[in-house]
């Protein structure tokens, strides 16, 4: 039985633009392999993160039409942090546009931001949960 999500594809209009954006906000490039005919295998992840994103250049009208809409307009990507305030400030300093001010929820501290293509993300520091499921 499979036991982890290794990576997922994120449609982007251009490999280099997308890679530069994610490197600017602190991700690392794990692989950038030319596959020929304009196609590349570009894997990125937050530094030290396990799950990776495969940057997939949209090909054809159908794929281009859903760039930034893979989540149907809702937050569908969650970037976890262990130091919310520092990362929130750092991301603002490099030009990330936050849709919301930071707020505290039962599950953690969170703020919504949007990438250059319109995908909505949460920057989130999860609340600590003890063994019986109580948030502390």
Q: What is the pTM of this model?
A: 0.90
pLDDT at 132 over 90: no
What pLDDT is recorded for position 21? 98
Rounded-to-integer distance, Cα 78 and Cα 16, Å: 23
For residue 16, report the phi and psi dihedrals to the nearest 5 degrees.
Answer: -65, -40
Rounded-to-integer distance, Cα 136 and Cα 128, Å: 6
pLDDT digits (tens, 9 = 90+) for 9-68: 999 999 999 999 999 999 999 999 999 999 999 999 999 999 999 999 999 999 999 999
Q: Which two tokens stand for residue 118?
A: 């319109």
Give the number of domains in the chain.
2
Contact by Cβ (8 Å): 113, 75: no
Domain with residue 58: its CATH number is: 3.10.180.10
Rounded-to-integer distance, Cα 17 and Cα 84, Å: 26
Domain check: are 91 and 56 in the same one? Answer: no
Of 42, 67, 92, which residue constitutes the final position of a domain?
A: 67
Of 67, 87, 109, which residue constitutes the final position of a domain?
A: 67
Domain of 121? 70-136
pLDDT digits (tens, 9 = 90+) for 83-104: 999 999 999 999 999 999 999 9
Of 14, 42, 67, which residue constitutes the final position of a domain?
A: 67
pLDDT at 126 over 90: yes
């Amino acid at each position: 039985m499979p036991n982890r999500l290794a990576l997922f594809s994120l449609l982007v209009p251009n490999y280099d633009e997308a890679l530069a954006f994610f490197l600017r906000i602190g991700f690392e490039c794990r692989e950038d392999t030319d596959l020929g005919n304009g196609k590349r295998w570009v894997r990125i992840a937050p530094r030290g993160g396990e799950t990776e994103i495969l940057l997939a250049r949209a090909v054809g009208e159908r794929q281009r039409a859903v760039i930034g809409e893979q989540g149907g307009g809702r937050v569908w990507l969650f970037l976890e942090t262990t130091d919310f305030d520092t990362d929130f400030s750092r991301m603002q300093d490099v030009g990330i546009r936050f849709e919301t001010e930071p707020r505290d929820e039962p599950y953690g501290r969170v703020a919504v931001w949007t990438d250059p293509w319109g995908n909505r993300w949460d920057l989130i520091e999860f609340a600590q949960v003890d063994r019986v499921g109580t948030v502390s």
